[in-house]
Amino acid sequence: MFNDYMWQTYLNAGGEIVVSLFEQNLTGNLSQDYIETIGKFRLSYCPEKAIIEDTAQQLQDLSKDLNDNLALLESGEYTIESAMQFLYNGIKGEGNYSAQDVFACFSDSIEYFTTSLAAEIPDLFTPYYFKYNFNVLEKIAQEFDIELPSMPIKKDYEGRFYFYGDICGAFLDFREKHHMSPYELCAFLYDFAPKYIGGIDSYIIKDLPEPKSAYFIGGSKDDKFLASDADTITCWQCNPDTRAGDMIVMYLRTPVSAVDSVWRSVSIGFNDPFFYYYRCTYIAHPVSIKQISQKQLQKDKIFKDVPIVRKNMQGINGVELMPSEYNYLMELAKTDVPRLEFVVTDGNQDFVNEKDVENKLIKPLIAKLGYSEEEYVQQLYIEIGNHNHALIPDFVLLPVTTRGHQSAFALIEAKLSIPNLKEMEEVRIQARSYARQLNVKYSVIASKDKVWVYAPDDDFTKEIFSASWGELNNADTFSHLLKLIGKRAGN
């Protein structure tokens, strides 16, 4: 929530100087001081120096062009939409360029284009300095109630180009609501707000949890040097389901064509509409390993049948490895990095009552699935009708309670044992009533012997997953359950 007192305190404590810097430079020529200051701002919320250096280079190029009276737009009255259309046509030119080509040019030089637009029409456009950091903008928007428009899908390149205009529309609404000048908005977005939400520490995880998944990424031979820098943190195309701590396996393409290093994801995966490849995460802690060539993988008894290997490693970025595949690959590489191992239960426990199942099996399982104690409720009270009845499921994951409405991501109903089909049907009906009321995505039944998972597609009738507790100690089996009901960025 926007706090006017804190904002005014920022302005009085030096923020007015930042506002003045934006106004002087966006109404005149870009100074070296401006370029260096933008770099300092970015350092507070972007950990990759190469990104910051690229931003500085684009602003350096723009400063020279502005001195030559560069104008992206012709003189006249513009709306956000008409100015964006003019720019689109200008980038497209007379050549036979596709929407993908136009977007590629725009996204690659987004700081150049957007700063120029902000200089030409400051009442409508705001320079964009969140390249590879749309996750930071989303956090700022969530914190200060900026209503961002819906993100276009990856293949909608034209929509992704015009999305910048939509973002500027959201900025304009926010600015007018809080009576800011265009230059106060810039100070807010790039100095005040990133520091307020915690900057880099708001999404880069230092104390990594145990890895839960492993993903391939692809690089060129020129990326090999990255693995030699133990302190590097870099943004990479990956899977948006990536969690902090997950294992990232770097495969270098031609002429190397080999697995070369292993990294850790230090952020959750996210979508960035202005990143050409759309899906990304930040990776760090590289470990160089004994190279395993594509030819070796194609001849290996295990990997020869893995789909990505059969596709000659095409489209490799973000492809998930089964835990058994990843662990086996690390054995081939003879490297000492974390393996994907999930010990859910030791199998040597006594269960006297339902509470034992809850405390000895279900609660440890919920933790293994990535949920903190604050992210689930035991014995959630659900009022029904005129308050004369109530439903009380045993465990509710990610509950959301608003006035007159309750919902959740999943529920778990516990039983000591389910000895026959008749009792199983009774438990399933009971769990279904909870699931309907809470509009969950998954309904789970757990006894001392087994776990069953149901989904709403068939009204929670047929199991979509089941396993004994012993089977859940198998990494591949647990990974399947993790994909269904594990804690992820989007839930």
User: How many residues in total does the chain contain?
Assistant: 491
CA distance 275 to 258: 26
pLDDT tens-digit profile of 274-285?
A: 999 999 999 999
Residue 44 has pLDDT above 50, yes or no: yes
Angle at 329 between CA 325 and CA 332, to 5 degrees: 140
CA distance 174 to 1: 12
3-state helix, strand, coil in the chain (%, to 5): 45, 15, 35
Give the phi and the psi of residue 178 in degrees, each rounded to 5: -110, 15
pLDDT tens-digit profile of 438-482?
A: 999 999 999 999 999 999 999 999 999 999 999 999 999 999 999
CA distance 280 to 47: 14
Strand 382-384 to 247-252 pairing: unpaired
Check: CB of residue 199 under 8 Å from CB of residue 139.
no
Amino acid letter, residue 417 = S
Residue 98 has pLDDT above 90, yes or no: yes
CA distance 461 to 16: 62
Sorted by sequence, the CB contacts under 8 Å of residue 194 that are 6+ apart come out as: 41, 44, 45, 136, 140
Domain 214-333: give its CATH code. Answer: 3.10.590.10
CA distance 338 to 340: 7
Q: 171-207 burial string, b = 16+ CB within 10 Å, else e?
A: bbebbeeeebebbbbbbbbbbbbbebbebbebbbbee
Greater confidence (387 vs 476) lies with 476
pLDDT tens-digit profile of 330-343?
A: 999 988 899 998 87
pLDDT of residue 384: 58
Give the phi and the psi of residue 261 in degrees, each rounded to 5: -160, 165
pLDDT tens-digit profile of 412-440?
A: 999 999 988 999 999 999 999 999 989 99
Pick the CATH number of 354-485 from 1.10.3470, 3.30.2420, 3.40.50, 3.90.1570: 3.90.1570
Residue 388 has pLDDT above 50, yes or no: no
In Å, how far are 92, 130, 180, 369 from 140, measured between CA atoms?
Answer: 33, 11, 16, 28
Strand partners, 443: 411, 454
CA distance 178 to 175: 5
Over residues 69-76, the mean pLDDT reads 75
For the ranges 43-47, 56-60, 343-347, which has the lowest average pLDDT? 343-347
Domain ranges of the chain: 4-200, 214-333, 354-485
pLDDT of residue 234: 93
And the tokens for 293? 């060539």
